[in-house]
A and B are shown apart, each in its own frame.
Chain A
Amino acid sequence: MEESIFGALQLLVVGMITVFLILTIVINLGKALIVLVNKFAPAEETSPKKNPTAATNSIDANTQAIIKATVDKLTNGKGTVTHITKI
């Protein structure tokens, strides 16, 4: 790169164009992803949440609450407890 004011101006032009270009690509990439995911992998239909209590009468409420809290933390709130079996 030439050590002159033209070199600095060239960097300004090239740099700003590149940043705009890359972010425009990222934005359009995001839009394309949304369209594709909406088409090919829309959210799985969530079945009505089963009440784990009904299936696990033998486990006390306190233990169930601890298990639910642990699953919630480990899955970042995405997982649900549907059945608890004592082994």
Chain B
Amino acid sequence: MNEIFNNLYEMTALSNLIADPSYLIMYAIAFVLLYLGIVKHYEPLLLIPIAFGVLIANFPGGEMGVLQASETGEIIKDGKVYNIWEMSLPAIAHDLGLMNFLYYMLIKTGFLPPIIFMGVGALTDFGPMLRNLRLSIFGAAAQLGIFAVLICSFLMGFTLKEAASLGIIGGADGPTAIYTTIKLAPHLLGPIAIAAYSYMALVPVIIPLVVKLTCSKKELMINMKEQDKLYPSKNEIKNMRVIKIIFPIAVTTVVAIFVPSAVSLIGMLMFGNLLKEIGSDTSRLFDTVSNSIMNTATVFLGLCVGATMTVQAFLNWTTIGIVVGGFLAFALSITSGIMMVKVVNLFSKKKINPLIGATGLSAVPMASRVCNEIATKYDPKNHVLNYCMSSNISGVIGSAVAAGVLISFLS
């Protein structure tokens, strides 16, 4: 009888939980992320799959946690050594479990990030950017955080490739961060993906914090529409539809010539956008890309990224360094965008609200929505959403270009 109870006890996860209570920390993290997603509505489409991935990955015996391979592709499971690059997909599914199969097939191959970019492109309207082209340059300034943290991380002891993967978190672009890390430091993919997506989801917390520390009330009350009336734009657009169709084709061509390594991201982004802008002729493709494909990719990406956050992979100093460094990169990117607006305002008659600089990082359209809320809090009539979208969208291009540069120089 005693033996039966003993076997039952061993069968449950309780024995492992009592032997190693650090699992409880991961449950707490999962519950906090679920709370933020469900109750606070912080990027629920992203945060809920990630949080649930974290939860299911951390039940001992459940075999839903992603096993990180070393730089040479070695994985140790139950004392047995596997080489991930020599295993077939069915063997991965059989020996390492379902989640590892999904992870190594969809994420590690670099398949999902461009697919997500295609969906993002289909959901992006370049109209606000084309109407406010001047503001797009702040999407470049906000990439400074990437390179600043690269230097800090290198000084802290990371290799250049690892530091670059860590710095790219500052681009606030999950797919770009994953893609760059796969190319430069695949062994750090788990913690970097988690940090990138968690900070993207926490944009409503981080941007107001940085804005509060760097901007005055007077600056935040700069009304962009009034500035437009005082100093109207010279670029009147007579046929937006045609421009919107040509623009993605032209940008892809230009970026492909200058930074070919960014084409897999920019090219897919622009392809998705082109399908949207053509209209009825490609409406079926647009519908598939922006709904079915995008939603499927988001579900698998979220679950797989969450499942990389196992107790063994997460609770160590490297991961904690990445989480701290990622936050620094994120905050620095927002700050550098704001600072560039301040510098431009010193020399320009037409003043710009610094919130437009704060949205120079990606995280479209959440960063713009958050900044619009901040602006309307100070002046209910000051809607800056369209202006913010300009730098926000150019930030997507900027971070993809920055990733392209890092990959070209370091891989």
Chains A and B come from one and the same complex: yes
Is B19 at the interface (CB under 8 A from chain A)?
Answer: no
Are A76's CB and B279's CB within 8 A? yes
Are B150's CB and A26's CB within 8 A? no
Identify A22's interface contact among B146, B151, B239, B401, CB under 8 A. Answer: B401
Interface size on A, residues (CB 8 A): 37
Q: Which residue of B lies closest to A78 (CB)?
A: B279
Is A81 at the interface (CB under 8 A from chain B)?
Answer: no
Known A25-B258, A37-B238: A12·B279 in contact at CB below 8 Å: no
Chain B residue numbers with a CB within 8 Å of A54 are none
A41 to B237, CA, bound (A): 11
Query: In chain B, residues 190-219, which have Cβ atoms closer than 8 Å to a Cβ of chain A?
Result: none
A42 to B242, CA, bound (A): 9
Are B160's CB and A3's CB within 8 A? yes
Nearest chain B CB to A20 CB, angstrom units:
5
Are B239's CB and A19's CB within 8 A? no
Is B246 at the interface (CB under 8 A from chain A)?
Answer: yes
Known A5-B154, A14-B405: A26·B251 in contact at CB below 8 Å: yes
Q: Which residue of B lies closest to A28 (CB)?
A: B133
Query: In chain B, residues 256-310, which have Cβ atoms closer than 8 Å to a Cβ of chain A?
Result: 258-259, 276, 279-280, 283
Nearest chain B CB to A31 CB, angstrom units:
6
Chain A residue numbers with a CB within 8 Å of B242 are 37, 41
Chain A residue numbers with a CB within 8 Å of B134 are 27
Nearest chain A CB to B310 CB, angstrom units:
30
Interface size on B, residues (CB 8 A): 50
Per-residue CB proximity of A29-51 to B under 8 Å, as 1/0?
11101110110011100000000
Known A26-B394, A30-B247, A78-B279: A12·B148 in contact at CB below 8 Å: yes
A18 to B401, CA, bound (A): 8
Identify B150's interface contact among A12, A19, A22, A29, CB under 8 A. Answer: A12
Nearest chain A CB to B260 CB, angstrom units:
12
Are A31's CB and B163's CB within 8 A? no
Are B130's CB and A25's CB within 8 A? no
Q: Which residue of A lies closest to B257 (CB)?
A: A25
Known A3-B160, A15-B402: A29·B250 in contact at CB below 8 Å: yes
Nearest chain A CB to B99 CB, angstrom units:
34
Chain A residue numbers with a CB within 8 Å of B237 are 34, 37-38
Are A15's CB and B129's CB within 8 A? no
Nearest chain A CB to B355 CB, angstrom units:
19
Per-residue CB proximity of B128-170 to A under 8 Å, as 1/0?
0110011011011001101110110011000110011000000
Is B87 at the interface (CB under 8 A from chain A)?
Answer: no
Is A16 at the interface (CB under 8 A from chain B)?
Answer: yes
Known A8-B163, A22-B397: A33·B143 in contact at CB below 8 Å: no
Are A11's CB and B160's CB within 8 A? yes
Is B7 at the interface (CB under 8 A from chain A)?
Answer: no
- Selected A-B contacts with CB under 8 Å, 18 pairs: A5-B151, A8-B150, A11-B160, A11-B409, A18-B259, A18-B405, A19-B398, A22-B254, A22-B259, A22-B401, A26-B136, A26-B255, A30-B129, A33-B246, A33-B247, A34-B243, A74-B280, A75-B279
- What residues make up the interface of A, taking CB atoms closer than 8 Å to B? 1, 3, 5, 7-9, 11-12, 14-16, 18-27, 29-31, 33-35, 37-38, 41-43, 74-76, 78-79
A-B pairs with the 3 shortest C-beta distances? A12-B147, A42-B238, A23-B140
